[in-house]
Amino acid sequence: MSATVASSATVSSSKNAVPALRRALIALYVGAAAAIALATILAFVTTSSDDAKFHHIGDYFLTANGIPYVLALLALLPALRELQERRDGRLGSVGTGFASVGAVVLLGVFIYGLIAATGSSLGPTYVLASLATIIGVVLFAAGSWRAKLLPRWLVVVWPIAWAVGSMLPILGPGPLLLAATYIAMAIVLPRRV
């Protein structure tokens, strides 16, 4: 009897994991594509260096590319929380909250930028929202360390890759590091679920 109950629980859990895994994989692939696009735009497309009206078509590409970046993060964290069965605890919850608030604010900044054709970040809004996403990913990764869904090396690399390759690309190849991290997560995740 108990073997049947345990078997039913496993089947039910795996059925619930399929949609979450699908959402996580889509978010990872979209995030990787956006990161590769960002690296390409930064390397090969002319953009304005000032924080004013757009002067080049690259300004529109750069701003529009931020939208899938933050949408991927908004979809990824809740999907991972579900796959981790909330074993990431408060760190996962608070991390998801910080990252989500930052991502929603950034989404608004990007949409405003496209509509107004401006690179204005609305004062410190862009930087503060970007820092919120970084803090959120760091906290989420710390919670994920406990959950053990992802390999520990990937849990360590992910916040670093997000910090140097996302909204504040510190290093030129930073977005490519983030893309590689997302692809590694997409390869490893189905095997660990």
Spell out the domain ranges in the chain: 14-192
Considering the entire predicted model, what is its pTM? 0.86
Contact 27, 76 (CB under 8 A): yes
> Which of these, 192, 189, 159, 191, lies nearest to 177 by C-alpha position?
159
Q: Tens digits of per-residue pLDDT, 1-58? A: 444 433 333 333 556 778 999 999 999 999 999 999 999 988 888 877 666 788 888 8
Rounded CA separation 17/159 (Å): 24
Provide the pLDDT for residue 57: 87
Q: List the end-to-end C-alpha distance of the chain, in Å, as a whole number.
A: 26
Rounded CA separation 19/68 (Å): 20
Contact 181, 44 (CB under 8 A): no
Query: If 0-12 CB within 10 Å is exposed, 13-18 middle and 19+ buried, where does residue 110 land?
Result: buried
In residues, how long is the chain? Answer: 193
Q: Tens digits of per-residue pLDDT, 121-134? A: 778 899 999 999 99
Contact 182, 145 (CB under 8 A): no
Q: How far is CA 132 from CA 91, 112, 125, in A?
A: 14, 19, 10
